[in-house]
Amino acid sequence: MIGLKSGLKRMLPKLCMKEKEFILGNHRSSFGWIRYIAVGNEPFLTAYNGSNIKTTFPAMQNVQRALNEAGLGDKIKVTTPQNADVYESGSDGPSAGNFRSDIRDLMVQIVRFFNDNNSPFLVNIYPFLSLYQNEGFPVEFAFFDGGAKPVQDKGTTYHNMLDANLDTLVWSLRKAGTPKVKIIIGEIGWPTDANKNANVKLARRFYDGYLKKMASKKGTPLYPGEIESYLFSLTDENQKSIAPGDFERHWGIFTYDGKPKFPIDFTGQGRGQMPVAAKDVKYMDNKWCVFNNDIKNMDRVPANMGYACASADCTAMNPNSSCGNLDERGRVSYAFNSYYQVNAQDVRACNFEGLARIVTTNATIDQCLFPIALQSAGFKIGVQIGARVFAGFLLLLAFFN
């Protein structure tokens, strides 16, 4: 599967030749391994205020047209990953499901396009978000080990949120006149930090139940059989937007440097073993930036700590998180070090008006890891006097089966 960026997607309705040149040109021989082209990602999120409504479907049509002209339309399918908020049922159960009223006509056009071209409906579903967004959501309903109170809907029994959510989509497709459109789970996973419900224990529980369910190939009550799905995510991403929540940077099954977080069996047979860690990972020097304990006046600390966290990742210090129990000086050190590492250990990034110092002894405190930058990922994009630096790692990897 490959994806078209949002910027390119907006151009496609007017610049159809761009994708034609890509598909018909020298890249054609590279398309043998591609099954899907995803146009954009969750374009109709309510948070986008309709900004993608006019561009997404025309872009999809143009890409499909180019594929057809290249003789690839029967091999490569065009779709767009949707958030599960494009359909809804309120509190009335899956059978009340329908596409969201503000985009219903457009979604009907899109799913009929899928039906005509034998393309799948990609949906991103995160049971974790149900817990995050609704304090009253029954925790057990997010998992698959039978602890939830069953939900009845017109004679159908639901034991977990995933089945209920997918069948809400099934009902929406039926009401659009496209009951045979294939459904693919484009993203699903569980974060491990920065929220009370984001931790390794719950992530392992979720994946264990989910992978066993997928291996059973039973599907849902209304969508039986095998369901193609993609896990999100392979590694943590310390520069990912935290607008939806601080946990967004902690979806990885592996840490930022390729170390597995918990045992997992991707075959769904329940033989939980630690995955193989990334090999030959190259770190920068064993150096950490920490608070200078000789400092007695703490007046300048809040501003400098806030400055560090504005450009680096401090989400692990949230309450009930891996670094949530640090004392004041530990928290300052964590913030300073995060900023220092994300700026590739530039000495100017460990100043903070004289509040910080560089050490060569591992600064990790108990279970709170003070990371070291990777040689291949750290890059500097600007330094001003006073060590104003914006920098980062970008490890955007998704697990595809």
Which of 6-20, 258-272, 359-373 is predicted with the least confidence, judged by mean pLDDT?
6-20
Give 2-250's CATH code, choosing from 3.20.20.80, 3.40.50.300, 3.40.50.40, 3.10.20.30: 3.20.20.80
pLDDT at 364: 98
Quick one: what percent of the chain has pLDDT higher than 70? 87
List the domain boundaries for the chain.
2-250, 288-391
3-state secondary structure the chain: CEEECHHHHHHCCCCHHHHHHHHHCHHHHHHHHCCEEEECCCCCCHHHCCCCCCCHHHHHHHHHHHHHHCCCCCCCEEECCEEHHHEECCCCCHHHCEECHHHHHHHHHHHHHHHHHCCCEEEECCHHHHHHHCCCCCHHHHCCCCCCCCEEECCEEECCHHHHHHHHHHHHHHHCCCCCCCEEEEEECCCCCCECCECHHHHHHHHHHHHHHHHHCCECCCCECCCCEEECCCECCCCCCCCCCHHHHHCCCECCCCCECCCECCCCCCCCECCCCCCCCCECCCCEEEECCCCCCCCCHHHHHHHHHHHCCCHHHCCCCCCCCCCHHHHHHHHHHHHHHHCCCCHHHCCCCCCEEEECCCCCECCECCCCCECCCCCEEEEECCCEEEECCCCCCCECC
pLDDT grade, residue 65 (50/70/90)? very high
- The pLDDT tens digits of the residues spanning 354-388 come to 999 999 999 999 999 999 999 964 344 333 323 23
Q: Is the pLDDT of residue 305 over 80?
A: yes
Which of 2-16, 134-148, 326-340, 374-388 is predicted with the least confidence, judged by mean pLDDT?
374-388
- The pLDDT tens digits of the residues spanning 194-244 come to 999 999 999 999 999 999 999 999 999 999 999 999 999 999 999 999 999
pLDDT at 25: 59
What is the average pLDDT score of the chain?
89
pLDDT at 20: 60
Hey, which residues are catalytic here? 42, 187
